[in-house]
Amino acid sequence: MSKRLSLIVAGAALVFAVSAVHAADTKSLTPQQQKMSDCAKQNKGKKGDDYKNGVKACLSGTPAAAPAKQTQQEKMKSCNVDAKAKSLSGDARKKFMSDCLKGSP
């Protein structure tokens, strides 16, 4: 009988401990803690610097970081594709490429 009583007492202690931990988890968060939690959820799945930058931007209230600026090589490739799609040649192509690489409309 004492072994059974020991198990009951141990089980009751375990239930009490779990309920105490659960009560601590469900206490209300401060506004800053809630904001941090929300920002972490928004950036779930990101890793490393992407995660850090996403959370930092969220906490500061700035919009998500813009995509990285195109390199000169990427701009050249994109402008070439656009010029080819417009069937440009000669001076018209040169002017288009110049404006496109400068970022002019």
Q: Do residues 16 and 39 share a domain?
A: yes
Q: What integer pLDDT is reported at residue 53 of this predicted model?
A: 85
Are 49 and 96 members of one domain?
A: no
* Structural domains in the chain (count): 2
Q: What is the pLDDT of residues 22-48, one digit of tens each?
A: 555 567 888 888 888 888 888 888 888
| Same structural domain, 21 and 43 | yes
- Orientation angle between helical segments 48-60 and 31-42, nearest 10 degrees: 140
34 within some domain: yes
User: Mean pLDDT over residues 6-14, rounded?
Assistant: 72
Domain with 53 in it: 2-60
Say whether both 6 and 49 belong to one domain.
yes
Q: What is the pLDDT of residues 53-103, one digit of tens each?
A: 888 888 887 765 555 677 888 888 989 999 999 999 999 999 999 998 888
Phi then psi dihedrals of residue 27, to 5 deg? -65, 150
Q: Are 6 and 56 in a shared domain?
A: yes
**Does 7 score more than 60 pLDDT?**
yes
Q: Is residue 41 within 8 Å of residue 51, measured between CB atoms?
A: no
Q: Identify whether 26 is part of a domain.
A: yes
Convert 54-73 to b/e letters by CB count within 10 Å (16 or more is b): bbebbeeeeeeeeeeeeeee
pLDDT score for 62 = 72
* Domain identity same for 38 and 83: no
The answer to whether residue 65 sits within a structural domain is no
C-alpha distances in angstroms, 96 versus 16, 53, 72, 73? Answer: 75, 36, 16, 16
Q: What percent of the chain has pLDDT over 70?
A: 79
pLDDT for 48: 85
Residues 57-69 pLDDT 10s: 888 877 655 556 7
Determine, yes or no, domain membership for 67: no
The stretches of 26-61 forming alpha helices (DSSP H) are: 31-42, 48-60
